[in-house]
Amino acid sequence: MRKQRTLKEAVKASGIGLHSGKKVEISLEPAKENTGIIFYSEDDNTQIKVSTQSVINTQLATTIGKGNIIIGTVEHLLATLFALHIDNIFIRLKGREVPIMDGSSAPWVYLIKTAGIIQQNAYKKAIIVKKPVKIKEDGKFVALIPSKEFEISYSINFDNPVIGKQRMDIVVNEHNFIKEISKARTFGLLRDIEYLQAHNLALGGSLDNAVVVDEYGIINEDPLRYENEFVRHKILDAIGDLSIMGLDIRGKYIAYRSGHDLNNKLVKELIKSSEAYEVVGNPRSEKAAVESLVWNPLKAKA
């Protein structure tokens, strides 16, 4: 169990929305303890607090909203805030989509480190996964099972010779996220991107903010940042999608060919299964909850 954190000072940036193709201005600002993560749309004078109820669309990206006001592509920023333990923050936007930056979380890590981080007095609540929760759908699979720390085991399998099959297992913490995950960029197949842009989607996508793959190789001049950058980016997305709960996580997330939609369904399935989790709010209760886990990982294989 740890204390909550926020930024020391505000920091600003601008960029292009991946799907809208429009310029976006963004400001990350400190917030009081127990505030949570709040987006503020300057275009609509509307606040949207990040929660499981605020997710309204998971096609191609994770979108939050209130009424007819939406803010899209929040997952990379949310993943960074989660991994760097920024619990309370006010995110001011001119535009309806978080800028894609270079397609990874690295620019967000830089901005947060530039702003500085301060510890607050209140404790951060954690969710302890006590029983497995699983979803199988269209040859895809996701699960959350008990673990004393937040772990991810992710496998992808693309019908493309360049991407193919990749798997990665990682314990999610600030150090591992920055070193092993944060620089992994969003990616897509050339044929899919051409189709999306022809239908007014991914209008801001370019070789500056995505790894583009055809049947023969990487189209980008810059090489991959990691040998298995593709599965690492899927892990980045998953961290952002799971962070929507607003809680630290003590559990192992297992995925095979998952995406934003299935990740969101898993979160909802966990929350509605009250016997599958416990939310704790202080060090003593967390220690007791974690120590009470009786779990044989050999029985938890997907």
pLDDT in the model for residue 299:
47
pLDDT in the model for residue 294:
59
pLDDT in the model for residue 301:
47
Q: Which is it for strands 63-66 and 69-71: parallel, antiparallel or unpaired?
A: antiparallel
Angle, to 10 degrees, between the axis of helix 75-83 and the axis of helix 229-242?
80
- Spans of the chain, pLDDT less than 70: 294-302
pLDDT in the model for residue 128:
97
Neighbours of 122 (CB within 10 A): 13
Catalytic residue among 19, 76, 233, 260: 260
Instruction: For residue 4, give Cα distances in angstroms to 7, 33, 153, 173.
Output: 11, 7, 27, 15
CATH topology of domain 126-297: lpxc deacetylase, domain 1 (3.30.1700)
pLDDT in the model for residue 283:
82
pLDDT in the model for residue 194:
84
- Look up residue 95 and give its amino acid: G
CA 92 centroid distance within chain: 19
Burial of 5 (0-12, 13-18, 19+ CB in 10 A): buried
Whether 175 is catalytic: no
Handedness of CA 60, 64, 69, 71 (dihedral sign): negative
Instruction: Match domain 3-123 to its CATH number in 1.20.1250.20, 3.30.230.20, 3.30.70.240, 3.40.960.10.
Output: 3.30.230.20
Q: Which regions of the chain carry the CATH code 3.30.1700.10?
A: 126-297
Are the CB atoms for 71 and 41 separated by under 8 Å?
yes
What are the φ/ψ torsions at residue 271 (nearest 5 degrees)?
-65, -35
Q: Which regions of the chain carry the CATH code 3.30.230.20?
A: 3-123
pLDDT in the model for residue 300:
47
